[in-house]
Amino acid sequence: MEAVAADSPPGRVEGALSCFSFNQDCTSLAIGTKAGYKLFSLSSVEQLDQVHGSNEIPDVYIVERLFSSSLVVVVSHTKPRQMNVYHFKKGTEICNYSYSSNILSIRLNRQRLLVCLEESIYIHNIKDMKLLKTILDIPANPTGLCALSINHSNSYVAYPGSLTTGEIVLYDGHSLKTVCTIAAHEGTLAAIAFNASGSKLASASEKGTVIRVFSVPDGQKLYEFRRGMKRYVTISSLVFSMDSQFLCASSNTETVHIFKLEHLNSSRPEEPSTWSGYVGKVLVAASNYLPAQVSDMMNQDRAFATGRLSFSGQRNICTLSTIQKLPRLLVASSDGHLYIYNLDPQDGGECVLIKTHSLLGSGTSEENKENDLRPSLPQSYAATVARPSAAAASTVPGYSEDGGALRGEVIPEHEFATGPVCLDDENEFPPIILCRGSQKGKTKHS
């Protein structure tokens, strides 16, 4: 869920804020600036707490945090082909990798890390950073559009399958095989996003008038929403609520749309005998005899709720999150601000703006403490490593920069402990060794 503040390719920066992204469970916000990057906790409406800030790398245009852990991935305009992975609480670099062309986007969950270039996608195992697969010869993807399910048990990947139409390729990040292709739109894709469980995929085209939701992995259309009719817009972000009941879309207009994922009940009570009710029935009945395009438009659902900004033409990303036990709409904008709205799922209508935070001002430092909204896992990575084992520890070949075994060296099996990577404890350590790598000619090809 990362956005570059400027619509131009990497190399230009709009104002002081170059990029911004919400983490996978929408509890943290990361921003990149000409001076470095900052991480904020989204645990309070009234206060925007700065979790971490770094000025070691200038001109950051990609910054992604793994949930509320200490792992952060950074890409800079000074070295746009290099990905840097840090454990920010320890102040150490875990590894860095260089690629054959500029990095356009990064996506990660607890099992996989994606690096998207214009004509290829690299899939890494996040536990040891070993390169698992390179998807080559994809259609030109100058914006780095791709999506990764945050559910590490499926790790589905989605990316454009055509340069001229809105075809989506659905890829299995575990089996490393293509699942299916989805004919989502007639026009070129502008945005794609999975829900939290990886069971749904939302998409929008460059026209920005229609948003569709498909089932995963079979690719069947589930919902169709109409954002607008009169003007084409640039959809800059799509995001599901964590419970998958709502879908939010932001664009370069002043309106953020929220759609409710529900099918109208065909056995609903009879409409009251009013003139408007009668006209509504006539229109629905008539849609069965109209041309397909007109009929589809009449049957598309409209926005359940909206949030309004006081400006248009800015790059925005949105998310739906629960803060202080209440549902909120959050919009981060390239104007350098975070806007927080009240969202009442019962009423719908227009969301009320309740707080505006400056992303470029000074935040409250929370280096050693963060209110993590994500429920704690029953056992952390460090605890898993420390767990005694009755059997003799088996070993696997160590990981080196060329992807092979280190001569005469091994890494204990527990370094690759089962279960999700958890780096939310300052006493824990990264589950991978320091490494340097260059992803050129050392890959498995699709």
Torsion, Cα of 37, 40, 45, 47 (10° steps): -80
- DSSP at 217: T
What integer pLDDT is reported at residue 348 of this predicted model? 78
Strand, helix or coil for residue 267 = coil
Q: pLDDT tens string for the chain (446 positions)?
A: 566 654 433 333 344 789 999 999 999 999 999 999 999 999 999 999 999 999 999 999 999 999 999 999 999 999 999 999 999 999 999 999 999 999 999 999 999 999 999 999 999 999 899 999 999 989 999 999 999 999 999 999 999 999 999 999 999 999 999 999 999 999 999 999 999 999 999 999 998 889 999 999 999 999 999 986 656 788 999 999 999 999 999 999 999 999 999 865 433 344 444 443 444 444 445 445 555 444 444 345 678 999 999 998 889 999 999 999 999 999 999 999 999 999 887 777 899 999 999 998 754 444 334 433 333 333 332 222 223 333 333 232 322 223 322 222 232 333 333 333 444 443 343 444 444 556 654 444 44
**What are the DSSP calls for 93-129, one per residue?**
EEEEEE-SS---EEEE-SSEEEEE-SSEEEEEETTT-
Q: Strand pairing of 326-333 and 316-323?
A: antiparallel
Q: Which residues pair with 41 in a beta bridge?
A: 28, 49
Q: Strand pairing of 349-350 and 305-308?
A: parallel
Question: Exposed/middle/buried for 197, CB within 10 Å: 0-12, 13-18, 19+?
Answer: middle
Query: Which of 118, 114, 137, 203 has the alpha carbon at shortest distance from 167?
Result: 203
Cβ distance 177 to 195 under 8 Å?
no
Cβ distance 307 to 351 under 8 Å?
yes
| pTM greater than the 0.85 cutoff | no
Q: Strand pairing of 49-54 and 364-365?
A: parallel
What integer pLDDT is reported at residue 162 of this predicted model? 95
Torsion sign over Cα 434, 439, 442, 443 = positive
Region of residue 25 (left: phi > 0; alpha: psi -120 to 50; beta: else) = alpha
What integer pLDDT is reported at residue 262 of this predicted model? 83
Cβ distance 50 to 38 under 8 Å?
yes
Query: Which of 233, 166, 135, 154 has the alpha carbon at shortest distance from 194?
Result: 154
Residue 313 CA to residue 302 CA, distance in Å, equals 23
Torsion sign over Cα 55, 61, 62, 67 = positive
Longest dimension (CA), the chain: 84
17-263+278-358 CATH, one of 3.30.460.10, 3.90.76.10, 2.130.10.10, 1.20.1250.20: 2.130.10.10
Query: Which of 40, 8, 24 has the alpha carbon at shortest distance from 142?
Result: 8
What integer pLDDT is reported at residue 76 of this predicted model? 97
What integer pLDDT is reported at residue 347 of this predicted model? 72
Query: Which of 421, 442, 444, 363 has the alpha carbon at shortest distance from 66?
Result: 421
Residue 272 CA to residue 127 CA, distance in Å, equals 60
DSSP H or E segment with residue 226: strand 221-226
Q: Strand pairing of 17-22 and 28-33?
A: antiparallel
What integer pLDDT is reported at residue 98 of this predicted model? 96
Q: Which residues pair with 202 in a beta bridge?
A: 193, 213
Amino acid letter, residue 416: F
**What are the DSSP calls for 148-208, one per residue?**
E-S-TTT-EEEEE--SSSEEEEEEETTTTEEEEEEEEESSPEEEEEE-TTSSEEEEEETT-
Question: Exposed/middle/buried for 206, CB within 10 Å: 0-12, 13-18, 19+?
Answer: middle
Give the E-state strand segments of 275-315 in sequence order: 305-308
